[in-house]
Amino acid sequence: MSTELLAPLDLAFWHLESEAHPMHLGALAVFDPVPGVAPDDLLELLGARAAAIPRLRMRVRDVLLPVGGAAWFTDKDFDVHRHVRRVVLPEGDFMAEAARLAGELMERPLGRGLPPWQMYLLGSPGDGPFAVLVKLHHALADGMRAVAIGAGIFDQIASAGAGRGTVRRRPPVPPRSWLPGPYEAASMAMGRLGEVGRALGVGASVVRASRLDLRATTALTARSSGTRRLATAELDAEAVQRIRRTEGGTSNDVLLALVAGALRRWMLERGDPLPGADPRALVPVSRRRPGGAATGNRLSAYLLGLPVTEPDARERLRLVRTGMDRNKSAGPLRGAGAVAVLADQLPALAHRFGAPLAGSAARMLFDVLVTSVPLPRSALSLGGCPLRAVFPMAPLARGQSLAVALSTYGGRVQVGLVADGKALPDLDRLASAVGEELHDLHALVPTVPAPA
């Protein structure tokens, strides 16, 4: 893999970026220490494993064709030491210090002349826990593939990859003319017409779902300051499952209801009036098929009104479940969330010149991003040090002050909240409200016992 064109959606994410709006995903992985494993050893291991991941040796360059396009090229001058660094945190609460520094590091855009990723080894002053902060540009992969790429640093995945042996190569394809035959040309023309038709349908759906009146959604929108704060929370995954088993729906429905309840608590505690209309969440949905491309973005999204104006927690859950069922019935090609599908239908030149305008329109579509990131269920480690938790982080679109990402590992749901540092200086309070909401909802629901 030496050259590969960026897919349309990847190109859109590449051009959406600005100094105040870096378009990288992130994750803060927290590990427990093991005696005898030194920080320098961990840093060397982290660098070696990252360098062994082919995708992390690629960088983006413009190309002549298609006009406005770009491609991934193998960086012949790749040096992993430009991407992997160690930082010793000051004394104090480790998680608080790690979250503070992670927020500051997430502010900084990735260098566009290098492979667009970075990893930081965040260590305690003594022999306490440590963390690895991973930053991957959204053009590199969506959340699901970002996990697949980043998982290469773990002992279990790295050793499995090393044990695969030789790779079976496909038999050579006989040479053929680059000129299409008459039947192929007709097929290509019909396919292009079909794509245009789909794009028009998706575009009309996005326009219908857009809002012109933004006065009711100011609590989560603000002029960007370019600063970032990270706050984290952990939830009991079994409590989430017990609620799901009793109330129906999915675990994701429960988590979305918890986010809605936490926002309600946070707004009321800070003295903000509840909005006249419920804020809208963009909930990403993967369109990736089994055996499909291993990299890049294959996304759509659902649009969901978060019922923050509803005072009853169980009713909020019912409203979320009903809204998500309605979204699933309509499919991922309807509503404002389908803007990612629309982006996949546009030519490269449209992304180069239209991405800044599209980014500024995000506020017309949604108020907050809420995404769930799947993680491996098996126990993971780095250099023998067990992984304790993974807090995912999503980028902020222009006009948005908050993004919420959730993942489940080790019987816990880890919540990563990324916010504009000046717009939401009390982000820690919102993180605490998520846990309080789970406690209260679990107390209200007559949960059924887990099956034997």
Residue 377 phi, psi dihedral angles, 5° rounding: -85, -20
pLDDT of residue 334: 55
The share of the chain scoring above pLDDT 90, in percent, equals 48
Top mean-pLDDT range of 20-24, 300-304, 424-428? 424-428
Amino acid at residue number 349: L
pLDDT of residue 6: 84
Task: For residues 393-405, give the mean pLDDT.
Answer: 88
Q: Whole-angstrom Cα distance, residue 50 to residue 282?
A: 31
Distance of CA 157 to the CA centre of its chain: 21
Pairing assessment for the beta strands 385-393 and 24-31 based on DSSP bridges: antiparallel
Return the closest-CA partner of residue 209 out of 106, 312, 305: 305
Q: Whole-angstrom Cα distance, residue 95 to residue 129?
A: 9
Q: Whole-angstrom Cα distance, residue 375 to residue 312?
A: 32
Q: Whole-angstrom Cα distance, residue 62 to residue 6?
A: 10
Assess whether the previous peptide bond of 279 is cis (omega < 30° from 0).
no
* 372 vs 177, more confident: 372
Q: Whole-angstrom Cα distance, residue 11 to residue 71?
A: 9
Helix 237-247 to helix 427-444 angle (10° resolution) is 50
Report the sign of the C-alpha dihedral through residues 350, 353, 354, 358, in that order.
positive
Paired tokens of 378: 């098996």
Return the closest-CA partner of residue 438 out of 231, 234, 248: 234
Give the chain's radius of gyration (CA, Å). 23
Region of poorest pLDDT, from 269-283, 307-321, 410-424: 269-283
pLDDT of residue 382: 96
pLDDT(335) > 80: no
Quickly list DSSP for 218-280: GGG-----S-EEEEEEEEEHHHHHHHHHHH-S-HHHHHHHHHHHHHHHHHHHTTPPPPSSPPE
pLDDT(343) > 60: no
The share of the chain scoring above pLDDT 70, in percent, equals 73
Paired tokens of 404: 């919420």
Amino acid at residue number 227: T
Pairing assessment for the beta strands 130-137 and 117-123 based on DSSP bridges: antiparallel
